[in-house]
Amino acid sequence: MNKTVLAAIIVVIAMLGFTYLAVGSAGGMGGEHDWVNKLAVLGAVVLVIVTAFVVTKYVRQMQYDRASGKLADENWDGIGEYKNELPFGWAVIFLGLTIWAIWYFLAGYPVNAYSQIGEYNEAVAEHDAKFEEQYKNMDESTLKEMGGSIFIVQCAPCHGLQADGIDGKAANLHHRIAEKSVKHVIMNGGNNNILGTGVPMPDRNGLMNANTGALITDAEIDAVAKYVAGGLKGTEGADVFAGTCAACHGPDGKGMEMVAPSIAVFNPTLVANILSHGKKGAIGTMPAFNNLTEVQVKALGAYVTDLSK
């Protein structure tokens, strides 16, 4: 018998043997009435046999067939090429698949068709819209109340139920900013997109005290950090603030639009910007919250602003 055919028969027997070892005793051929399993095993057997015979056929064809047809004129070191027509069926399949691919991307699945994720997103968007509509015109106290409930769910895990920052793990929101945070910003600059416009705050090498005409000193940094963290009250550090910070943050520290944010108090815009961009600072990193609706952001803004009063 031909060696190739013999090899194919040996492969078939070996694979059937492995199939039997793998599934045979486990149930498929075990005699219970598990038709699905039996069909699957039968399918595997058929696949193995068909594959072996198809492979044998082509291996033998490679061994014995003589090519026929007209050779092209060019040849490369004696290796030539036949001038065969493109089989008609191939051309039809190629064109058909091209058309189908264009249809698939433009009109068919998945760009334009049903998907569970799409349906879920639509349902969420619909309910968000209802929610926005229902709570469009809330008075200040309802807004704060809603902010408080969202805070307990979304923010309390880090900021604490009392919003006091649980042992310094997140900012204490009862005052605008902590002393070490002010120092951190002066030493490192700030680039948290707090204004929402991407304008950064320079670090100490860019902070000139107009009163002394020199760069801000260590002692001045200590003083002004205390002054800002203390709510811009008292006299210590006030002159440094006036000479160095007021130009951008305003004489009262309440900020100037497009120039610098308020560092005296929270306001809803500031909170909204912190929520949409997150914040990295001396205390740690606060993640951005982009899954809140507009009304929820407004409510949190009202709540946090009120806390810090």
Residues 6+ apart with CB under 8 A from 75: 81
In the set 248, 254, 276, 293, which binds ligand HEC (CB under 6 A)? 248
Q: What is the chain's alpha carbon radius of gyration, rounded to the nearest angstrom? A: 37
- Report the half-sphere exposure of 111 (CA within 13 A, side-chain side): 8
Nearer to ligand HEC, 24 or 278 (CB): 278
Binder of ligand HEC out of 27, 69, 96, 202 (CB under 6 A): 202
Q: Is 144 in the site for ligand HEC (CB under 6 A)?
A: no
- Nearest CA to 275 out of 248, 249, 295 is that of 295
Based on the shown chain and the rule CB under 6 A, indicate whether residue 279 belongs to the binding site for ligand HEC. Answer: yes
Residues 6+ apart with CB under 8 A from 157: none
Structure tokens at 258: 């497009």
Q: How many residues bind ligand HEC (CB under 6 A)?
A: 50
Cβ of residue 134: shortest distance to ligand HEC, in angstroms? 21
Residues 155-194, mask of contacts with ligand HEC (x by CB under 6 A)? x-xxx----------xx-x--xx---xx--xx---xxxxx
C-alpha to C-alpha distance for 110 and 106, rounded to whole angstroms: 9
Distance CA 287, CA 207 (A): 29
Rule CB under 6 A: is residue 302 a binding residue for ligand HEC?
no
User: Tokens 């064809």 identify what position?
Assistant: 61
Q: Which stretch binds ligand HEC (CB under 6 A): 14-22, 110-118, 132-140, 271-279?
A: 271-279
Nearer to ligand HEC, 113 or 288 (CB): 288
Give the nearer residue to ligand HEC in terms of CB position, either 28 or 253.
253
Would residue 151 be called left, alpha or beta, if left means φ above 0 and alpha means ψ between -120 and 50 degrees?
alpha
Which tokens in the block code for residue 292?
């809140």
d(CA 201, CA 194): 10
User: Whole-number minimum distance, CB 109 to ligand HEC, in Å?
Assistant: 37
* Choice from 263, 272, 302, 307 touching ligand HEC (CB under 6 A): 263
Determine the Cα–Cα distance for residues 134 and 76; give it in Å rounded to an integer: 78
**Residue numbers of the site for ligand HEC (CB under 6 A)?**
154-155, 157-159, 170-171, 173, 176-177, 181-182, 185-186, 190-195, 199-202, 207, 216, 224, 228, 244-245, 247-249, 260-261, 263, 271, 274-275, 279, 281-287, 289, 300, 304
